[in-house]
Amino acid sequence: MSVLERISDPRDLRDLGPRDLEALAAEIRTFLIRQVSRTGGHLGPNLGVVELTIALHRVFDSPRDPIVFDTGHQSYVHKILTGRRDAFPQLRQRGGLSGYPSRAESEHDWVENSHASTSLSWAEGLARAFQLRGEDRTVVAVIGDGALTGGMAWEALNNIAIQPDLRLVVVVNDNGRSYTPTVGGLATHLQGLRTDRRYEQALKAIKESVRAAPLVGGPVYGLMHGLKAGVKDVLAPQGLFADLGLKYLGPIPGHQLSQLEGALESARNFGGPVIVHVITEKGKGYGPAERHDEDRFHAVSKIDEVTGEPLASAAARPTWTKSFADHLVRLGRRRPDVVAITAAMLHPTGLGPFASAFPDRVFDVGIAEQHAVTFAAGLARGGLHPIVALYATFLNRAFDQVLMDVALHRLGVTLVLDRAGLTGPDGASHNGMWDHSILGLVPGLRLAAPRDEPRLAEALETATSIDDAPSVIRFSKETVPAPLPAVRRHGSVDVLTDAPGARVLVVGYGQFAGLAVEVGQRVADQGIPVTVVDPVWALPVSADLVDLCAAHEFVVTLEDSGVVGGLGARLAQELRDRDLRTPVHNLGIPQRFLPHASRRELLEELGLVPQDVARAVVERVAAADAATPGLPAPVAAPGERAAER
Query: Is the distance from CB of 459 to CB of 448 less than 8 angstroms?
Result: yes
Residue that finishes a domain, picked among 416, 449, 474: 474
- Determine, yes or no, domain membership for 298: no
Residue 206 in this model has a pLDDT that exceeds 70: no
DSSP 89: G
Instruction: Say how far apart CA 394 and CA 430 lie, in whole Å.
Output: 8
**pLDDT tens sequence across 95-153:** 899 988 999 999 999 998 768 888 999 999 999 999 999 999 999 999 988 888 888 89
Cα torsion through 259, 261, 267, 269, rounded to 10: -130
186 and 208 assigned to the same domain: no
Please name the helix (run of DSSP H) or strand (run of DSSP E) that holds residue 190, with its range, or none.
helix 185-195
Instruction: Count Cα atoms within 13 angstroms, Cβ side, for 443.
Output: 6
458 and 527 assigned to the same domain: no
Q: What is the mean pLDDT of the chain?
A: 87
Residue 461 in this model has a pLDDT that exceeds 70: yes
Give the active site residue among 79, 177, 194, 282.
282
Query: Is the distance from CB of 131 to CB of 167 less than 8 angstroms?
Result: yes
Query: Is the distance from CB of 620 to CB of 554 less than 8 angstroms?
Result: yes
**Alpha helices by DSSP H, 359-496:** 369-381, 399-400, 435-439, 453-463
The range of the structural domain enclosing residue 91 comes to 4-196+238-290
Q: Which pLDDT score is estimated for 306?
A: 83
Residue 629 banded pLDDT, cuts 50, 70, 90: low
402 and 517 assigned to the same domain: no
523 and 391 assigned to the same domain: no
Q: Which pLDDT score is estimated for 207?
A: 54
Give the active site residue among 167, 268, 284, 397.
397
Name, in order, each residue with C-beta under 8 angstroms of 29's C-beta and a sequence gap of 6 or more: 47, 50, 284, 285, 286
- Determine, yes or no, domain membership for 480: no
Residue range 246-262: mean pLDDT, rounded = 93
For a pLDDT cut of 90, what percent of the chain falls above it?
70
Query: Is the distance from CB of 363 to CB of 354 less than 8 angstroms?
Result: no
194 is catalytic: no
Q: Which pLDDT score is estimated for 303?
A: 83
332 and 214 assigned to the same domain: no
Residue 310 banded pLDDT, cuts 50, 70, 90: confident
Q: Which pLDDT score is estimated for 637?
A: 38
346 and 464 assigned to the same domain: yes
Q: Which pLDDT score is estimated for 114?
A: 67
282 is catalytic: yes
Residue 216 in this model has a pLDDT that exceeds 60: no
Residue 47 banded pLDDT, cuts 50, 70, 90: very high
- Determine, yes or no, domain membership for 295: no
Interior angle at CA 32, CA 26 and CA 33, nearest 5: 95
Domain tally for the chain?
A: 4
179 and 246 assigned to the same domain: yes
Residue range 156-173: mean pLDDT, rounded = 94
- Determine, yes or no, domain membership for 564: yes
**Alpha helices by DSSP H, 213-339:** 218-235, 239-242, 257-270, 287-290, 320-334
Residue 1 in this model has a pLDDT that exceeds 70: yes
What CATH number did the domain enclosing 262 receive? 3.40.50.970
Residue 223 banded pLDDT, cuts 50, 70, 90: very low
356 and 496 assigned to the same domain: no
Give the active site residue among 124, 369, 453, 574.
369
228 is catalytic: no
Cα torsion through 248, 251, 255, 258, rounded to 10: -60
Quick one: three-class SS letters along 143-172?
A: EECCHHHCHHHHHHHHHHCCCCCCCEEEEE
**pLDDT tens sequence across 397-412:** 999 999 999 999 999 9
Q: Which pLDDT score is estimated for 182?
A: 52
Instruction: Say how far apart CA 44 and CA 639 lie, in whole Å.
Output: 42
339 and 370 assigned to the same domain: yes
Higher-pLDDT residue of 435 and 298 is 435
348 and 360 assigned to the same domain: yes
**pLDDT tens sequence across 540-551:** 999 999 999 999
